[in-house]
Structure 1
């Protein structure tokens, strides 16, 4: 498989190259570009690759501008730190939309989808389902405005949150520096408004981010005890009934 990478962050390029080496070692990266100008020129002068991995925010603007200047006749997998462009990405022959930091499971799932599309033409039903999925993703909550010091509102991005928990009867958002902020909604409301690919309700007291998990202990009675990167006040236990669901969620299946 021949792949083109359009990405202006060198660290992100190295990470993607390493993941491709792990997940799809037969992939040949034919070129790496970091701007709209270079990308347009490349597509005008070269045959289309099998797939393009494309960041949205490039050195000289939005990657969507590429499609305004040249026809991209191959599947595109967007790789970005922002989740608000999913529906727009679908309109320019994107087959998947991976949020940074990208994990091996995310990349493997996208490449499996690419392989599937090679053998089956998408039906109207499957296209409608995909549009619906992307529209739902666009409506997941991405930021909070947190009351702070009486007369201020503090912007808090969802991606900063390691976990939400109930403490002293109120909902707290805990971030990587161990700061806690009171969130004016319940865990049930949060579970309904946050992207379920990123957050999991492990029990009545905790809603955790996948990226916050440090390791997992096998616990009594076939349960799991999750150790988070930001320490908690007590054990974060997954009930026996939710263990399989948690494992599937964490593995990205």
Structure 2
């Protein structure tokens, strides 16, 4: 059984590899990948793998970006320190969700579940592919408002009225279409799980609403410069690696 590990902490990745081999000596960990970019490149070139153990928060983004850009057929066991991503994980090819720190029992449970599914469905069968596609297409529940705090008030702001979220001085803000600005007691990673597909994570600093974009232009042939249709003084750039994904999202596909 060929397995790949997607994990940006080398010690954690090696611990996971050793436990997998210990509890299932027939397993072959063929590759350890440490970033979204590296995993996308590898999986595009090597699509045939039996099982993936995947962290969620990687150094260059969330691992969900991998499975949005690559048609991964293999089941995925997600290993993360955060439980907030569980729903999204199971809407990809997720079959199991392990909270760090993991141990032998947890890994054994994940492998047992994998083998149980494998005995029920051939992993190459149309039945399993249809099951995975059905889970992936499941409608995503999302909030309609975000609570913000202003002095002693708690104010609900409708997500459709928000032009963008951004980090400034290590604090998260939201900026509305009618030029109101509020502090948000959440990280951009948390917000990304709430707002849905009408918003895009341009980089580590910005999440933008599709309706807030006036135009996008090439910047030194290496990045995309996003111009908003509202007054906003900060530059918003999308990296070369994310350009194609950004343009697909911008079309609303």
**TM-score bucket (shorter structure):** 0.3 to 0.5
TM-score, normalised by the number of residues in structure 1:
0.47
TM-score, normalised by the number of residues in structure 2:
0.47
